[in-house]
């Protein structure tokens, strides 16, 4: 934002400032993954919520969505869709039920019918509370990770696609074995 006090006197100045604020928010807080852990904020919050619920058993996705809403204020539909996308990649989430098929375009069953839990890989590679930087959640009631201390290039393994204001990213998924060898 500019320091000129007369800048907001014009409608153009207001649009300029508010557009830049909104664009920065969408880029940093919604659409584009963080380079450190390769996760978008909703994905990071889902994994954190799943780690909180983790007792080794499967949880209904509807319950995971509800727990994630403690950290992600953007609605249950976006959280459910993000869980399905993570689950369909078969890397971090162990799935049970009809999760749809990305090849045929079939959608997943409703969140109340499908279940998920963290994979052993996710538990071993994604989490370390001692090295995680914690931030207050959107309402200040809980703490959520700024980024997760991932020990593996998730951004390359999973691939990602995101569209933000004036910015887009698309990284195709890379071969898991080739990433390990590299």
Annotated catalytic residues are 113
| Two structure tokens written together for 31 | 């659409």
> 63-72: which pairs have CB atoms within 8 A and are 24 or more residues apart?
64/111, 64/116, 65/111, 68/42, 70/137, 70/141, 70/142, 71/45, 71/137, 71/138, 71/142, 71/144, 72/41, 72/42, 72/45, 72/46, 72/138
d(CA 63, CA 80): 10
Strand partners, 115: 60, 96
Query: Taking a C-beta distance cutoff of 8 angstroms, is the pair 91, 121 a contact?
Result: yes
CA–CA distances in Å: residue 113 to residues 15, 94, 174:
45, 15, 31
d(CA 49, CA 84): 15
- Alpha carbon of residue 165 to chain centroid: 18
């Amino acid at each position: 934002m500019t320091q000129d006090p007369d800048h907001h006197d014009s409608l153009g100045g207001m649009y300029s400032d508010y557009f830049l604020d909104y664009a920065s928010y969408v880029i940093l807080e919604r659409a584009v993954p963080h380079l450190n852990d390769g996760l978008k904020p909703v994905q990071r919050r889902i994994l954190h919520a799943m780690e909180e619920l983790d007792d080794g058993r499967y949880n209904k996705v509807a319950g995971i969505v509800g727990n994630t809403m403690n950290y992600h204020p953007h609605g249950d539909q976006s959280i459910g869709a993000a869980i399905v996308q993570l689950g369909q990649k078969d890397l971090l989430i162990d799935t049970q039920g009809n999760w749809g098929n990305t090849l045929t375009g079939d959608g997943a069953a409703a969140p109340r019918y499908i279940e998920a839990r963290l994979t052993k890989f996710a538990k071993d590679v994604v989490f370390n509370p001692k090295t995680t930087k914690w931030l207050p959640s959107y309402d200040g009631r809980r703490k959520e990770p700024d980024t997760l201390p991932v020990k593996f290039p998730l951004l390359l393994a999973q691939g990602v696609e995101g569209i933000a204001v004036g910015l887009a990213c698309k990284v195709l998924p890379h071969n898991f074995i080739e990433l390990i060898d590299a």
